[in-house]
Amino acid sequence: MNQMTVTKAFTLAESFPVDLDQTKTVDVDLHPGLRRLLQIGNLCNNAFMDEHSKWIGQPTDIALIEVLRGLGINDERPMFERISEFPFNSEQKFMHVRCAPLPGGLFAGHKVTAEHAIDPTNATLSQSGSAGTTYFKGAIEPVLERCTTFYRNEGTQLPMDVEAREKVTAQANEMANQGLRVLAMAYGNDLERLTFVGIVAMHDPPRPGVEESIRTLVGSGVKVIMITGDADATALSIARRLGFPINPGRSSCMSGAEIEAMTERQLQDAVGNISVFARTTPKHKMAIVSAFQAKGCIVAMTGDGVNDAPALKLADIGVSMGRSGTDVAKEAADMILVDDDFSTILGAVEEGKSIFYNIQNFLTFQLSTSVAALTLIAMATLFGLNNPLNAMQILWINILMDGPPAQSLGVEPVDDEVMKKPPRARDAAILTRLLIRRVLTSAMIIVAGTMFVYVHEMTDGSVTARDTTMTFTTFVFFDMFNALACRSEKKSIFSIGFTTNRMFNLSVMGSIIGQFLVIYMPFFQTVFQTEALSFTDLLGITLLTSSVFWAEEARKFFLARSLRQGGSGNSGGGLMGQKSLRDLGVGMSGRPNGFRRLETEERDAYEIV
C-alpha cells in the first residue's frame, strides 16, 4: 500500500534512532522518552475514523495514530480536553494544541478510563493545571528555535545546548538523506521556552509507475519540477529516487529562503536549472510560477490544499486533485484530476501530443484531397475539357468519401515516438512547411494520375459514362491510398501496422464498398451516371493510385535514414524543447500522488512547469 508510515524515532535520551517499522514493532523498547514522543504525536493530531472505519485527516496525522496501533497503544485523546489549537500554517511550518486532562470525564463522545492512557502512572504532561499544556509539532527548524530544554528518560529536563542541537540536527539530516520526512515534537507552557522531546521520520512510498512516468516526461522535453515544504536533503533524495535530473550537490535545489533573497529577474535566470524547490510557502509557489511564465513557458501546476489555490489560479493550467483536493483548490483550478494519479499526467501529455499530430495528419489528407479536386476541375476548365466529375460524384467524394477516413485519422492510437518529440513553441503553426509540402506533393500526384486516366479514356473527344466512372473511381482510390499514407507524418505504415487503427480500417472498407455499390448497382448507376468496370480496370486503377502511397513511403524512408545518420531533429513545427508545455493538450497536469511530502500537517503540491 502507498501509505505514509512512521519508520523511525529519535530522542536525546538514546544514542540511536528506534526502528518503528510496523513489521518489527513487537520488539520495540517503549522507554519513557519514546512514550512522550508518541504521546505528543497523538495529542497534536486531528485524524479520526469515520463510521465506515476509514481514516479521515492528513496522512501525517494518520501515520502517527497508526504507529500507536502497531505498538498496541490506545489513543489518548479521549482523556484530554482540547482548549485551543493553532492549525498548521505553511509559512510557520508547525501546529500546536493546548490540552488539559479530563480524568473520569468525556472527550469526543468517549468514556475516559485508565486504559486510554499511554502510561496512566506517568501523566506529567497532562497535569499542569486547568490552563493545560501546549503540545507542539512541526518542522525541525521552528521547533528547535523554541526549545530551551530537552527531556530525559529519568524525568529531568536538561538545557538544550549546542551539542544537543547538533546531535538532533545530525540525526534529522541523516533521516532526510534517506528520503524520510522529519517531524519534531516538543511541549511546555511557554511557546518560546519549550522542552524538546524528539523527532519521528516518515516514509511515503511513491505509487508504482511514478518513476517511469517522470523519466518519460523528462525525456520528452517536459520540465518536471518538485515544489515541497520538505527539507532540502529530503526533497533531493526523493527527486533522485524518482528520476528527476539532479546535478551533484545542491545546484539543482533552491530553498524558499534563497527565493526570498532574489529579485524577480534573478529568479527568472535561476529557475531554468532548478529541479527541486524546498522549504517553500504559497508565496514562493506564486513567484516560481511567475518566473517560468516570464521566460515564455506554459506552466501547469497541481495542488490539493487551500494554500495551493493562489498559484493554481496564477498558472496557465491549474489542476486540482479530485479525491484529496480541497474545495478551495478545486474552485481555483482549471481542471480536476479525478484519480489523483501522476501516471495520468503522462497519459495526458501523450494524448495532447497525439491529438496535435493527428490533427496535422487529418489536415494533410483533407487539404490534399480538396486541392486535388479543385485543381482537377480548374484544369479541365482551363483546357476547355468537360468536367471529369459530375456534381453527384463530387458530392459523394466530399460527404461520404472524405468524412469517415478523415475522421478516423483523428483517433489514430498514440505513437510511442510521440513522447520523444520535444514540446512545441507557444506560437507554433499547425500548418507547417513540411505539412504544406506533403499536401502539395500528394495533390499533384492525385491530379496527374486522375487527369491521365481521364484523357486516356476520352479517346473520341466525348465524355461517356465509362470515362467519368474510371475518372471518378481513380480519384476515390487515390483518396483511400492517400488516407493510408497520412496515418503518420514520419513512420512507415509497415512500422505502425495495418491493423492498429480499427476505425480507419472500417471506414476505408465502408468507403470502398460504397464505391462498388455506386458503380455496380443499377439504381446508383443511374443517379451517379456510372457503369460497371471490369476486374482489369480495377486492377489498373489500384496499381496507378497506389503511387501516392508509395511516394509518401519513399519520403518517410529517406527521412528516417537521414535522422539515423544526423540525429533526430525537430519536426516541422518550430519546436522549442523545454520552452513550452503546450503538449499537455487541453491543459491537464497533476501531482505525483506517490510524492506525498511532509509539511507538518499540510502537504503542498508537486508541480509540472
The DSSP-derived string for 183-199 is: EEEEEESSTTSEEEEEE
Candidate from 348-357, 370-379, 480-489 with smallest mean pLDDT:
348-357
Q: What pLDDT was estimated at residue 283? A: 92
Asked if the model's pLDDT at residue 584 lies above 80, the reply is: no
Asked if the model's pLDDT at residue 302 lies above 90, the reply is: no
Mean pLDDT, rounded, of the chain: 82
Altogether, the residues listed in the chain come to a count of: 609
**Which pLDDT band holds residue 103 (cuts at 50, 70, 90)?**
low
Asked if the model's pLDDT at residue 125 lies above 80, the reply is: no
- Radius of gyration of the chain from its Cα atoms, rounded to whole angstroms: 34
CATH class entry, domain 210-342+593-608: alpha beta
Q: What pLDDT was estimated at residue 110? A: 40
Q: Using N-to-C axis directions, what is the helix angle for 343-382 and 465-485, rounded to 10°?
A: 150
Residue 351, all three cell numbers = 494524448
Mean pLDDT for the stretch of residues 6-22 = 84
Asked if the model's pLDDT at residue 513 lies above 90, the reply is: yes
Please, which residues have CB within 8 angstroms of residue 591's CB and are 6 or more apart in sequence? 302, 303, 304, 319, 321, 337, 340, 342, 605, 606, 607
Residue 99, all three cell numbers = 490540552
Pairwise CA distance, residues 6 & 135, whole Å: 19
Higher pLDDT, 604 or 509: 509
Residue 327, all three cell numbers = 474545495
Asked if the model's pLDDT at residue 501 lies above 60, the reply is: yes
Mean pLDDT for the stretch of residues 12-41 = 79
Q: What pLDDT was estimated at residue 601? A: 33
Instruction: Give strand pairing partners of 90.
Output: none
Q: What pLDDT was estimated at residue 588? A: 35
Q: Where are the beta strands (DSSP E) in 338-381?
A: none
Mean pLDDT for the stretch of residues 83-96 = 87
Q: What pLDDT was estimated at residue 401? A: 66
Helix (H) or strand (E) holding 316: none
Higher pLDDT, 335 or 43: 43
Higher pLDDT, 143 or 597: 143
- The fraction of the chain above a pLDDT of 70, given in percent, is 85
Asked if the model's pLDDT at residue 113 lies above 60, the reply is: no
Candidate from 177-191, 233-247, 535-549 with smallest mean pLDDT:
233-247
Mean pLDDT for the stretch of residues 36-50 = 91
Q: What pLDDT was estimated at residue 23? A: 53
Pairwise CA distance, residues 591 & 596, whole Å: 9
Q: What pLDDT was estimated at residue 458? A: 79
Helix (H) or strand (E) holding 133: strand 133-138
Name the DSSP letter for residue 92: T
**In the chain, domain spans:** 5-203, 210-342+593-608, 349-583
Q: What pLDDT was estimated at residue 57? A: 82
**Which pLDDT band holds residue 104 (cuts at 50, 70, 90)?**
low
CATH class entry, domain 349-583: mainly alpha
Asked if the model's pLDDT at residue 132 lies above 60, the reply is: yes
Q: What pLDDT was estimated at residue 105? A: 45
Candidate from 90-99, 397-406, 495-504 with smallest mean pLDDT:
397-406
Mean pLDDT for the stretch of residues 353-372 = 90
Mean pLDDT for the stretch of residues 81-101 = 89
**Which pLDDT band holds residue 95 (cuts at 50, 70, 90)?**
very high
Asked if the model's pLDDT at residue 599 lies above 90, the reply is: no
Q: What pLDDT was estimated at residue 336? A: 86
Helix (H) or strand (E) holding 254: strand 253-255
Query: How is domain 5-203 classified at the CATH fold level?
Result: Calcium-transporting ATPase, cytoplasmic domain N (3.40.1110)
| Helices and strands counted in the chain (H then E) | 21, 20
Pairwise CA distance, residues 313 & 452, whole Å: 60
Distances (CA, A) of 596 to 207, 447, 526: 10, 60, 70
